[in-house]
A and B are shown apart, each in its own frame.
Chain A
Amino acid sequence: MARILIVTGDFSSSGQLQYSVYRMLEEGFVVTLAAPGRKGLYTVIDQREEGRDYDLEKRGYTLWPEASFNEVDPPLYDALILPGWRAAEALRNVERCIVIVRHFIENNKPIAAICQGPRILVAAGVKGRRMTGLPMIKPDIVASGNTWVDAGGEPVIDGNIATVSGRPYYHVWMRAFLSLLKERGIASPKPGAIRTRAGAPAVLS
């Protein structure tokens, strides 16, 4: 049974996180959202407003992780998703997060990262790969011995790693990731099944 791990935390991008979680559920995969602790995540609407040089953060949708990092057993999972925004900047300093991510790197399992997500990958030891992401993370990519690609709306696929710049290319990101899964024969056991997430309380009830 194919299982997808999504590693995130507070201040993840609401849009990136939601699109990846629900896209994987739509495909029928078993999805585990993992964060430092098992509590509602404070996500953000990451978007620039007119007249500002950079994005202002507004509070986005709350998502509930199924597992804390300590509860995650990485070998159980077939692929990894790293959504972006400011969560990634903090998470790359969390030792258990790096241990988890390293498993996917060392075992050549498919990884999708977007926006600031690639910062976790380089902190976990990825070297010599072609990557893109949020343009302001370029120094981290270069300093870690990887190659920065100005990709615009195109996905960058290097071996098992698919990276994309950010909004509005969620669809480009997940399309590239799904193509990696397909190439490697990682398929949903029951494509028609509607899976719901175990950790989430009822909404609007």
Chain B
Amino acid sequence: MSRILMIAADGTSSGHLDYGRFRMLEEGYQVTIAAPIKKPLQTVVHEMEEGLSSYIERPGYIIDADASLDEIDPATFDALLLPGGRAPEYLRNNARCLEVVRHFVDADKPIGSICHSPLILAAAVKGRRLTGVHIIKPDIVASGNTWVETRSEWVRDGNIVTTWVTPFYYVWIREFLAMLNERGIKPSSGDHDRRSAAEARDKNHAAAFSIAASK
């Protein structure tokens, strides 16, 4: 059974995490969201607003982490998805996070990264062509990687696909899936398996609907 790891934390982009997670579930992959601490994560919405020269941040969906970074064994996963947002800026200072990411780099397993999350990659790779949100360019260059200026296009370098920003989730995931497909990383069969992970995760939310409906 093919398993996808997503690394997230408080401050991860709501849009990136949602699109990545639900797309993997839609394809039939098993998804694990790992965070520094296993707890509900407060994701964020980043957006430009009229009159501001940088983005503002608002709270997004609360998404439960499935596991802590300490308790997962990266060797049991086939590929890694790194959503962006503000979390990568501090996750790159987390030794266990880098250890997990290095496993995917060293084992040449597919990695998909977007927006701010190439900051984590920059702490773990050298000599690669990467893109992301343009304001991280200094980190990419200083770490001995090559910055590629993009808009809606993706950048593929070996096992790593990087893309620009929200809302180009679909460009990111399409290329990531193409890479999984090329490498024969197939989803598991059986609809039941694919749904159970999502069901367990946001069960609270569905329960809330029932409670409200019964009042």
| B28, chain A: closest CB distance, angstroms | 9
Within 8 Å CB of A135, what residues of B? Answer: 209-210, 212-213
Chain A 179-205: CB-based contact to B (< 8 A → 1; otherwise 0): 000000000000000101000101111
| A16, chain B: closest CB distance, angstroms | 10
Within 8 Å CB of B77, what residues of A? Answer: none
Contact in complex: A53, B215 (CB < 8 Å)? yes
**Contact among A48, A138, A196 with B152 in the assembled complex (CB-CB below 8 Å):** A196
Q: A45-B60, A60-B45, A168-B201 are in contact. Are A194 and B22 (CB under 8 A)?
A: no
Chain A 84-95: CB-based contact to B (< 8 A → 1; otherwise 0): 000000000000
B14 within 8 A of A: yes
Within 8 Å CB of A19, what residues of B? Answer: 18-19, 22
Contact in complex: B215, A18 (CB < 8 Å)? no
B104 within 8 A of A: no
Identify whether the interface residues of B are mostly helix, strand, loop, or mixed. helix
- A53's nearest neighbour on chain B, judged by CB, is B212
- Give the residues from 105 to 140 in chain B that come closer than 8 angstroms, CB to CB, to chain A: 133
**Contact among A165, A171, A203 with B209 in the assembled complex (CB-CB below 8 Å):** A165
Interface size class of A (residues with CB under 8 A): 35 or more
The answer for the CA separation of A166 and B205 in the assembled complex, in Å, is 9
Chain B 179-215: CB-based contact to A (< 8 A → 1; otherwise 0): 0000000000000001100110110111011111101
- B213's nearest neighbour on chain A, judged by CB, is A135
Q: A60-B60, A153-B198, A172-B195 are in contact. Are A22 and B19 (CB under 8 A)?
A: yes
B153 within 8 A of A: yes
Contact in complex: A59, B213 (CB < 8 Å)? no
The answer for the CA separation of A174 and B19 in the assembled complex, in Å, is 12
B147 within 8 A of A: no
The 5 closest A-B pairs by CB, nearest first: A171-B26, A26-B170, A168-B202, A135-B213, A48-B208
Q: List 20 A-B contacts (CB under 8 A).
A: A18-B15, A18-B169, A21-B167, A23-B170, A45-B59, A45-B60, A53-B215, A59-B45, A61-B14, A135-B212, A136-B212, A138-B213, A168-B199, A170-B22, A171-B22, A171-B23, A171-B198, A194-B153, A194-B174, A203-B165
